[in-house]
C-alpha cells in the first residue's frame, strides 16, 4: 500500500490532476504510467490501482497497457542494470556468446532481476559504440571489446 505521506504519491496525483485538464484525458495514460515508473522505479500494483482510481479507468485496461509496452517494468529493478547490445556490429562480433554467459552466470533473462537484486538484464539495439563491439553497458558505463570471460569479470567487480 502507498503511504499517504509518500511525496511521490503527491507528485503523481498532481500529475494526474493536470492530465485530467487536457483535451483527451484517456490518451494521457501512457505519460501517467511513465511518471509513475519514474517516481517508483517500476509500476507496482498499488501505483496502477491509484491511477485506475484517480483516472476512472478499469485496472484491467491499465494492466493491459503496462504489459503491452516493454519499457514498463512491473517488478522492481536491480541495483545495477546491464544492457547487452544486440545491434548488428555487436552481434557479428559475438554479442550472443556474451549474452549467454551473462544469462548463465546470473540465471536471468531479459527483463529479469537476479535473485540477489543486484542486476537487471536488458536488451539494447546499438549503444552508439559500434567501434568497440561487442559492447555492454552497466548503469551509464560502456564496456567494449568484450569476451564472455571479460564480461563476467566486469560483472563480478560490481558484486564487491
CA neighbours within 13 Å on the CB side: how many for 23? 0
What sections of the chain are H helices per DSSP? 7-20, 29-40, 45-55, 59-68, 88-92, 95-106, 148-157
Q: How far is Cα 35 from Cα 15, in angstroms, rounded to an integer? A: 8
- The only residue of 88, 100, 117, 145 in contact with ligand FES, by rule CB under 6 A: 88
Shortest reach from residue 70's CB to ligand FES, in Å: 19
- Determine, following the binding rule CB under 6 A, whether residue 43 of this chain makes contact with ligand FES: no
- Determine, following the binding rule CB under 6 A, whether residue 136 of this chain makes contact with ligand FES: no
Spell out, one character per residue from 55 to 84, where the chain touches ligand FES: x when CB under 6 A holds, - when not.
------------------------------
- The only residue of 130, 138, 152, 154 in contact with ligand FES, by rule CB under 6 A: 130
* Centroid of chain to Cα 125: 15
| Sites of contact with ligand FES (CB under 6 A) | 85, 87-90, 126-130, 133, 135
Amino acid at each position: 500500500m502507498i503511504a499517504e505521506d509518500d511525496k511521490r504519491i503527491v507528485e503523481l496525483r498532481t500529475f494526474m490532476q493536470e492530465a485530467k485538464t487536457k483535451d483527451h484525458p484517456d490518451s494521457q495514460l501512457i505519460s501517467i504510467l511513465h511518471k509513475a515508473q519514474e517516481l517508483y522505479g517500476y509500476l507496482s500494483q498499488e501505483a496502477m490501482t491509484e491511477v485506475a482510481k484517480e483516472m476512472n479507468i478499469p485496472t484491467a485496461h491499465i494492466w493491459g497497457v503496462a504489459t503491452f509496452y516493454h519499457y514498463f517494468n512491473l517488478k522492481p529493478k536491480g541495483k545495477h542494470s546491464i544492457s547487452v547490445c544486440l545491434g548488428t556490429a555487436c552481434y557479428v562480433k559475438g554479442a550472443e556468446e556474451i549474452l549467454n554467459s551473462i544469462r548463465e552466470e546470473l540465471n536471468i533473462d531479459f527483463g529479469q532481476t537476479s535473485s540477489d537484486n543486484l542486476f537487471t538484464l536488458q536488451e539494447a539495439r546499438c549503444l552508439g559504440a559500434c567501434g568497440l563491439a561487442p559492447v555492454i553497458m552497466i548503469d551509464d558505463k560502456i564496456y567494449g571489446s568484450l569476451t564472455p570471460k571479460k564480461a563476467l569479470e566486469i560483472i563480478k567487480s560490481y558484486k564487491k
